[in-house]
A = this chain, B = another copy of it.
Amino acid sequence: MIEGMELIPGGSVTTPRGFLAGAVRARIRFMRLDLGLLHSEAPCAAAGVYTQCNVKAAPVLITQKHLTNGRAQAVIANSGCANAATGQHGLDDAIEMAQLASAKLGIDPHEVVVASTGVIGTFMPMERIRRGVAQMELSAEGGLDFAQAIMTTDTRPKHVAVRFGGHMVGGVAKGAGMIHPNMATMLSFMTTDAPVAPGFLAGALKEAVGSSFNMIDVDSDTSTNDMVVVLANGLAGGAIIDGRQPAADAFSAALTQVCTHLAKAIVADAEGGTKLIEARVDGARSLEDARRAAREVVRSLAVKTAVYGHDPNWGRILAAVGNSGADMREGNTALYLLSPEDDELCLFRKGAPQPYRKSQAKACLAQREVRIRIDLGLAEASATAWGSDITEGYVRLNSRYTT
């Protein structure tokens, strides 16, 4: 945690001032919260980042359009149906979802963010959505219900809030990882009561996502519905944060903190996963190289399965770095495992395997969070990535399907 920043226990999107949320069992899924609504009492600056997949779900396309002016005031989100690969019919449904929310809240439909997660290729059960929106009740304590409504194979809701100066940033997320019976989605919504200019907000979000949500890997698949959105309503007051004041750095740090917390929570709750793998790369020629190498280590199935099996298989880590495309030289590269006591166990250095005690390596790998450090020994850039391990449970969860 950065100095002056404070974690708020149980915090979520309704922790910052002026945000209300709620969720209902709309019967899109069986007997659980599956439709959520988030509303700000005041208009917000808003920004989003979206899936890079060429197949984009209808709600992604509608949200991108609605956020082009950098303004929004509400989010409607559901689980159980992705509304992806649904053509014009799907677009019409996503537009109606925005209209339902706007009518209920008395705002313009273009001020509504729409998000969906669930099965690809089926249409939204719109009658249930209409009834669900009608039943919805919003409150300042509704953030946790909202977090639950977007869960799919997640085993727990993911939410956090931090305070910095006189402002707060809160967030919720749902997990990545493919799900029964279709691919899942990474969704995250963040709120803040800081007064942030839209242009600065978009840049700050992009940067925060670059070092958090873009640095995690569960199964290397990007969904059709991925979306991260932030709303800033300014109700805490003060001067507009537009990048030219110290408050801008504090805000960016808080946003990055919230994104990183949620990103790690997603990986820690990965389908069938038993461990969180953290790969830190130092000594890279550029930030992009450091990120590439770190991401490839946590993406490699060889590394994931070795970590799952508590196997100090550093050859796989070295090969992953070699496959990443990052500039590296075998003779400059050093590999370390971090022990429960934060000691570094060197496995490879100066082009040669290093002698180590197997029991020490096992102790490093037996941790719930397995930490790997790679020093490329070339320059000064660093990055960290997080991944889950791959288990028989993952395969089971993703292959069993009865039609």
Residues of A bordering B, CB below 8 Å: 52-56, 82, 84-89, 119-122, 178, 181-183, 219-224, 299-302, 305-306, 308-316, 318-324, 326, 328, 330-331, 348, 350-353, 358, 362, 390-392, 394-396, 398-401, 403
Asked whether A331 lies within 8 Å of B87 as measured between CB atoms, the reply is yes
Asked whether A84 lies within 8 Å of B315 as measured between CB atoms, the reply is yes
Asked whether A305 lies within 8 Å of B395 as measured between CB atoms, the reply is yes
Contacts of A358 in B (CB 8 A): 403
Contacts of A362 in B (CB 8 A): 403
Choice from B89, B306, B396 contacting A398 with Cβ under 8 Å: B306
Q: Once the chains are docked, how many angstroms separate the CA of A396 from the CA of B308? A: 10
Asked whether B301 lies within 8 Å of A220 as measured between CB atoms, the reply is yes
Asked whether A301 lies within 8 Å of B222 as measured between CB atoms, the reply is no
Choice from B300, B312, B352, B399 contacting A221 with Cβ under 8 Å: B300
Asked whether A302 lies within 8 Å of B84 as measured between CB atoms, the reply is no
Asked whether A178 lies within 8 Å of B316 as measured between CB atoms, the reply is yes
Contacts of A391 in B (CB 8 A): 395, 399
Contacts of A55 in B (CB 8 A): 318-319, 321-322, 328, 330
The 10 closest A-B pairs by CB, nearest first: A120-B315, A309-B399, A55-B322, A305-B398, A87-B351, A311-B401, A54-B322, A392-B392, A53-B322, A121-B353
Contacts of A398 in B (CB 8 A): 301-302, 305-306, 309
Q: Once the chains are docked, how many angstroms separate the CA of A82 from the CA of B319? A: 12
Q: Once the chains are docked, how many angstroms separate the CA of A322 from the CA of B57? A: 11
Asked whether B222 lies within 8 Å of A302 as measured between CB atoms, the reply is no
Asked whether A302 lies within 8 Å of B181 as measured between CB atoms, the reply is no
The distance from the CB of A88 to the nearest CB of chain B, in whole angstroms, is 8
Asked whether B319 lies within 8 Å of A400 as measured between CB atoms, the reply is no
The distance from the CB of A117 to the nearest CB of chain B, in whole angstroms, is 12
Asked whether B311 lies within 8 Å of A223 as measured between CB atoms, the reply is no
With A53-B323, A178-B302, A182-B313 known as contacts, the answer to whether A318 contacts B395 (CB < 8 A) is no
Asked whether B85 lies within 8 Å of A305 as measured between CB atoms, the reply is no
The distance from the CB of A336 to the nearest CB of chain B, in whole angstroms, is 15
Choice from B54, B88, B328 contacting A328 with Cβ under 8 Å: B54
Q: Once the chains are docked, how many angstroms separate the CA of A87 from the CA of B122? A: 56
Asked whether B301 lies within 8 Å of A221 as measured between CB atoms, the reply is yes
Q: Once the chains are docked, how many angstroms separate the CA of A348 from the CA of B306? A: 38
With A330-B85, A403-B362 known as contacts, the answer to whether A54 contacts B315 (CB < 8 A) is no
Contacts of A89 in B (CB 8 A): 352
With A328-B54, A348-B85 known as contacts, the answer to whether A222 contacts B401 (CB < 8 A) is no
With A53-B323, A309-B401, A315-B84 known as contacts, the answer to whether A302 contacts B395 (CB < 8 A) is no
Q: Once the chains are docked, how many angstroms separate the CA of A89 from the CA of B330? A: 14
Q: Which residue of B lies closest to A335 (CB)?
A: B85
The distance from the CB of A295 to the nearest CB of chain B, in whole angstroms, is 13
Contacts of A120 in B (CB 8 A): 314-316, 318-319
Contacts of A88 in B (CB 8 A): 351
